[in-house]
Amino acid sequence: MTWHREARLKVAASSVQRLKEKLREIFRRGRGRNLGKLIEAELTPLLRGWMNYFRLAEVKGVFDELDSWIRRKLRCLIWRQWKRPYARAKYLMRRGLAKAQALKSAMNGLGPWWNAGASHMHAAFPKSYFDRCGLLSLLEQRLRFQLAS
């Protein structure tokens, strides 16, 4: 419950932490697998079940933060799968980045988590890319549940 004048239901922080731990396990196992299969086989059932359990929650900030965190973890997974700087530059160019920006981004020497949150990965893999891959958006599911009620 929130502390506002009209109390609203929200997801407990401990529940979010438990979900993140489960997701970390999935992402750890997914390093050598196809992204589409990882999303379809493991992420979608877990996220759908979690969202159905918390369908009555009214505070949307938690769902928005989780959506962005999951997308960043997926971008991190992609960055790690590319392994080498020249491969990273090549794939970034394939995804539409200019050669100079792709080379600078691939050779920056910073870690996968930093690069997953950087603008070059957001440009290469926008939210629409993950929607096409079949990633379930918690915020959109919440909206669907609200409209159905």
Using the predicted structure, report yes or no on whether residue 31 has a pLDDT greater than 80.
no
- Do residues 86 and 99 touch, judged by C-beta distance below 8 A? no
Average pLDDT over residues 26-50: 88
Kindly state whether residue 1 falls inside one of the protein's structural domains.
no
* Residue 7 maps to a domain: no
pLDDT at 142 over 90: no
Whether residue 4 lies inside any domain: the answer is no
The per-residue pLDDT for 64 is 92
The reply to whether 2 falls in a domain is: no
In terms of Cα–Cα distance, which of 89, 116, 114, 85 is closest to 101? 89
Q: What percent of the chain has pLDDT over 90?
A: 66
Cα 147 to Cα 143: distance, rounded to the nearest angstrom: 6
pLDDT of residue 44: 93
What is the mean predicted confidence (pLDDT) over 130-140? 90
pLDDT tens-digit map of 92-120: 999 999 999 999 999 999 999 999 999 99
Question: For 14-23, 42-51, 139-148, which range has the lowest pLDDT when averaged over its residues?
Answer: 139-148
N-to-C CA span, the chain: 20
Q: Is residue 35 part of a domain?
A: yes
Q: Which of 94, 73, 93 is nearest to 105 (CA)?
A: 93
Mean local confidence (pLDDT), 58-77: 92
* Res 143: pLDDT: 79
- For the chain, the average pLDDT equals 90
With 70 as the cut, is the pLDDT of residue 30 above it? no
Number of domains the chain is built from: 1
Domain that holds residue 38: 13-148
Exposed e or buried b for every residue in 19-51, given b needs 16+ CB within 10 A? beeebeebbeebeeeebeebbeebbeeebeebb
* 127 found inside a domain: yes
Helix then strand then coil, % of the chain, to nearest 5? 70, 0, 30
Backbone angles phi, psi at 121, to 5 degrees: -75, -30
Query: Does residue 67 form part of some domain?
Result: yes
The answer as to whether 64 is a domain residue is yes
pLDDT score, position 66: 94
| Diameter over CA atoms, the chain | 56
